[in-house]
A and B are shown apart, each in its own frame.
Chain A
Amino acid sequence: MILRCLLFIVLLFSIAACSPIKPWVKPYERQKIADEIMSFERNPIADSYLHHVYDAREAARGGDGASGGGCGCN
């Protein structure tokens, strides 16, 4: 199920990659994206510790590696 979801998403990316893509959010429109409140991981060791607690109490692991805002705008 997880692999099928992933394949579907990769397929969507692949189709999108075949067409010419222009950045639809211009660099000068990214001031909100660059705000600290838009960070997936504002505090690395504090977030890492909480993930540690989840891992200790739950069987699930992985799939939570997001960090940063992805905009390359700072």
Chain B
Amino acid sequence: MAVINRLLLLALALASGFLQAAVLPDERIDVLYHGYDGGGAEINGPSILVRKNLGASVSVAANYYVDMVSSASIDVQATASPYSEERKENGISGQYLVDRSTISLGYTRSKENDYDASTYTFGIDQSFFGDLTTLGFGVSFGEDVVGQNTDPTYERNLERRKYSFNASQIVTKNLLASLSFDSVSDQCLDLTQDESCLNNPYRSVRYLSGTGGYLYQSELYPHTRNSDALGLRAIYYLPYRASVRAEVRQFSDSWGVDADNFELRYLHPYREQWLFEVKYRMYKQTGADFYSDLFPYRDAQNFLARDKELSPFSSTTIGLGVTYKVPAGFIPWFEKSTVNLNWDKFDIDYDDFRDARVSPTDYAAGEEPLYSLQADVIRFYLSFWF
């Protein structure tokens, strides 16, 4: 699911310029190294984005992204063996500028050994009132094939749709605001298959065995999922040259998950060459209706989940970032170049997900300590404008 959400986001980002109506995006090259380390999982790899204008009305972009995963997460340790895998993603997009409108098209393909995903995006945006207001509408359509490494005959087909509405507004000469609404639906194509395409085919739930311990059985998810999310962002230019950005978002889905998050970011330039960033983010969600850390007996419900991402939890993220602008002329061919480093620290406390790796002789079933996860995320990247 995370892969899918990333596809939608990336397609949106690639097709963006969204809120800069009547202006093509910058011509640039970005080379990123990303690293995630937390909860027993290490994920890293490169990403490259190239964006180029063709004439005065057309912009095209291509993106290449790799995830190299080495995982011994708590789920893996409890019921499976550590594994390594690689996911590659390619995306292309184009924008066509017509008067004060921009039409965007995009295609993204992601491939790994047990999951293939294709996403098509279309969007149009238009500026009004002397470019004070920009409205945008977007739709994306995705087709996925879900497999399983241990069973070559396992195949589930998933269809995804996303409808987006965006509005941005210059409120004053120091304040920008932006509103985004997304409605997303996931639908399995074959409803007769017991195991849903939205299941993680490797994950299990646990239930009381009746003898004081617990046993495992496969997760069982619904065949559809619909969600709505509304986000509001604002960015304010302070009396001196620095900015504060605030973001709130509310989310709700048909599985009973409600979530809210809030983020505050401060961006401070230092002399001509440096930009420093500090960020704080809070997130909180309720659990899915069919989530339980420990079911009372086998097949206790129609649907069963013990995915900690569907459990109730809260998290905080602290982020630091620095950008160094390379002096003009130092790197030939490019008008401007930057070197960037961002570090984000995630701290997640689960309210109803227990650490089942502890010894059953020390803890009774359902009495294990609650799990928490800390993760470090590094983004190191070079950007070149030409």
A interface residues (Cβ-Cβ under 8 A, vs B): 1-3, 5-6, 9, 13, 21-25, 27, 29-30, 32-33, 35-41, 43-74
How close is A34's CB to chain B, nearest CB, in angstroms? 10
Contacts of A37 in B (CB 8 A): 237, 241-243, 267, 269, 275
Contact of A49 among B32, B253, B275, B348 (CB under 8 A): B32
Apart from A45-B65, A55-B2: 4 A-B pairs, beta carbons within 8 A: A35-B243, A38-B237, A40-B233, A69-B20
How close is A71's CB to chain B, nearest CB, in angstroms? 6
B370 lies within 8 A of chain A by Cβ: no
Q: A50-B344, A56-B2 are in contact. Are A38 and B243 (CB under 8 A)?
A: yes
Contact of A48 among B10, B17, B129, B165 (CB under 8 A): B10
Q: A30-B170, A33-B170 are in contact. Are A57 and B346 (CB under 8 A)?
A: yes
Q: In the complex, are the beta carbons of B9 and A48 less than 8 A apart?
A: yes
Q: In the complex, are the beta carbons of B47 and A62 less than 8 A apart?
A: no
Q: In the complex, are the beta carbons of B6 and A64 less than 8 A apart?
A: no
Q: In the complex, are the beta carbons of A40 and B178 less than 8 A apart?
A: yes
In whole angstroms, how far apart are the Cα atoms of A67 and B379 in the complex?
19
Chain B residue with the shortest CB-CB distance to A13: B167
Q: A21-B129, A47-B13 are in contact. Are A70 and B178 (CB under 8 A)?
A: yes
Contacts of A5 in B (CB 8 A): 230, 250
B310 lies within 8 A of chain A by Cβ: yes
Q: In the complex, are the beta carbons of A49 and B173 less than 8 A apart?
A: no
B218 lies within 8 A of chain A by Cβ: no
In whole angstroms, how far apart are the Cα atoms of A61 and B174 in the complex?
29
Contact of B309 among A57, A63, A65, A70 (CB under 8 A): A57
- 7 smallest CB-CB distances across A and B, nearest first, come from A63-B229, A62-B182, A23-B130, A56-B2, A70-B168, A55-B5, A63-B231
How close is B27's CB to chain A, nearest CB, in angstroms? 12
Q: In the complex, are the beta carbons of A60 and B243 less than 8 A apart?
A: no
How close is B267's CB to chain A, nearest CB, in angstroms? 5
Identify 25 residue pairs between A and B in the complex whose beta-carbon atoms are under 8 Å apart, listed by A's number.
A6-B230, A22-B129, A27-B131, A33-B174, A33-B237, A40-B235, A43-B383, A45-B30, A45-B381, A46-B381, A52-B5, A53-B377, A55-B6, A57-B348, A58-B315, A59-B255, A59-B285, A59-B310, A62-B229, A63-B182, A63-B250, A65-B9, A67-B19, A68-B17, A71-B176
Q: A43-B383, A57-B309 are in contact. Are A72 and B22 (CB under 8 A)?
A: yes
- State the majority secondary structure of interface residues on A: loop
Contact of B169 among A1, A32, A70, A73 (CB under 8 A): A70
Interface set, chain B 1-42, CB cutoff 8 A to A: 1-2, 5-6, 8-10, 12-14, 16-23, 25, 30, 32, 34, 36
Q: A45-B32, A45-B49 are in contact. Are A63 and B17 (CB under 8 A)?
A: no
B63 lies within 8 A of chain A by Cβ: yes
How close is A5's CB to chain B, nearest CB, in angstroms? 6
Chain B residue with the shortest CB-CB distance to A36: B275
Q: In the complex, are the beta carbons of B9 and A2 less than 8 A apart?
A: no
Q: In the complex, are the beta carbons of B257 and A60 less than 8 A apart?
A: yes
Chain B residue with the shortest CB-CB distance to A24: B132
In whole angstroms, how far apart are the Cα atoms of A25 and B132 in the complex?
8
In whole angstroms, how far apart are the Cα atoms of A37 and B240 in the complex?
12
Q: In the complex, are the beta carbons of A30 and B173 less than 8 A apart?
A: yes
Contact of A62 among B1, B162, B342 (CB under 8 A): B162
How close is B260's CB to chain A, nearest CB, in angstroms? 9
Q: A53-B377, A64-B180 are in contact. Are A44 and B131 (CB under 8 A)?
A: no
In whole angstroms, how far apart are the Cα atoms of A2 and B182 in the complex?
10
How close is B20's CB to chain A, nearest CB, in angstroms? 4
Chain A residue with the shortest CB-CB distance to B253: A59
Q: Flag B256-291 by CB within 8 Å of A: 1 or 0 each.
A: 010101000001010000010000000101001000
In whole angstroms, how far apart are the Cα atoms of A31 and B172 in the complex?
12
Q: In the complex, are the beta carbons of B173 and A44 less than 8 A apart?
A: no
How close is A21's CB to chain B, nearest CB, in angstroms? 5
Contacts of A74 in B (CB 8 A): 20, 23
How close is B116's CB to chain A, nearest CB, in angstroms? 18
In whole angstroms, how far apart are the Cα atoms of A22 and B243 in the complex?
27
Q: In the complex, are the beta carbons of A41 and B13 less than 8 A apart?
A: yes
In whole angstroms, how far apart are the Cα atoms of A32 and B285 in the complex?
36
Contacts of B138 in A (CB 8 A): 65
